[in-house]
């Protein structure tokens, strides 16, 4: 089994912000570990002492609805019956102690590396913002246009939603 088991981009898309934390949903983790979500949650419930509130928590009804709206997941047949659990970086690390398959170990390594990579990116971004603010204070309004342009470049653009539905191609004759 190779160490490049799961592309980092796939993991990055699964990491979501919630309650001021970066978390992963139980169903996404189960997919990465190649186990059913109920099996993952059952293993966690057998080891609840290892998962305090800052490692894992269950989403509220409102958070679940927002998640469903955001991802367009099913709420009727085939949907979830229970509100999902989410795991912080520490919770994901703790999962490796209760899931013993080779796949789970390799998936955990890839997930933890992705969390670390994201943390480094955020730290460098905040350092850059702080340094820019210091420069802006020092040079007042002389370079306001330059600072505004730099800030605009630093902001991460929101992804544009893809249009939903069928669009017929029009033939040019």
**Mind listing the pLDDT tens digit for each residue in 56-78?**
999 888 888 877 665 555 554 45
d(C-alpha 124, C-alpha 109), whole Å = 23
Q: Are 55 and 88 in contact (CB under 8 A)?
A: yes
- Please give the structure tokens belonging to residue 86: 């989410």
Angstrom distance (rounded) from CA 147 to CA 10: 34
What is the predicted pLDDT for the residue at 3? 46
The pLDDT score that the predictor gives to residue 33 is 86
CA-wise closest residue to 24 among 107, 97, 80: 107
Q: At CB < 8 A and 24+ separation, what contacts does 5-11 make?
A: 5/103, 5/106, 5/107, 5/110, 6/32, 6/106, 6/107, 6/110, 6/111, 8/110, 8/113, 8/114, 8/117, 11/110, 11/111, 11/114
Residue 2's pLDDT is what? 43
Q: Which domains does the chain have, with CATH numbers?
A: 8-122 (3.10.260)
pLDDT of 142 reads: 59
Instruction: Give the number of other CB atoms < 10 A from CB of residue 42.
Output: 12
Identify the pLDDT of residue 56. Answer: 92
65 with 79: CB under 8 angstroms? no
pLDDT per residue of the chain (173 residues) written in tens, 0 to 9: 444 457 777 787 778 888 888 888 998 898 888 889 999 999 999 999 999 999 999 988 888 887 766 555 555 445 677 889 999 888 988 887 888 778 887 888 888 888 888 778 777 777 777 777 776 666 666 566 666 666 666 666 666 666 677 767 776 65
């Amino acid at each position: 089994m190779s160490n490049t088991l799961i592309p980092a981009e796939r993991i990055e898309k699964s990491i979501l912000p919630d309650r001021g934390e970066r978390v992963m949903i139980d169903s996404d983790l189960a997919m990465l570990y190649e186990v059913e979500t109920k099996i993952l949650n059952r293993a966690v419930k057998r080891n609840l002492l290892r998962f305090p509130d800052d490692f894992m928590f269950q989403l509220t009804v409102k958070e679940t609805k927002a998640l469903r709206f955001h991802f367009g997941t099913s709420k009727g047949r085939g949907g979830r019956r229970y509100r999902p659990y989410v795991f912080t970086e520490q919770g994901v690390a703790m999962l490796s102690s209760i899931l013993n398959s080779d796949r789970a170990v390799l998936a955990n390594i890839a997930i933890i590396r992705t969390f670390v990579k994201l943390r480094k990116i955020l730290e460098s971004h905040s350092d850059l913002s702080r340094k820019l603010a210091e420069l802006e204070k020092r040079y007042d309004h002389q370079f306001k246009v330059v600072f505004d342009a730099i800030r605009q470049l630093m902001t991460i653009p929101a992804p544009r939603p893809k249009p939903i539905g069928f669009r017929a191609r029009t033939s040019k004759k």
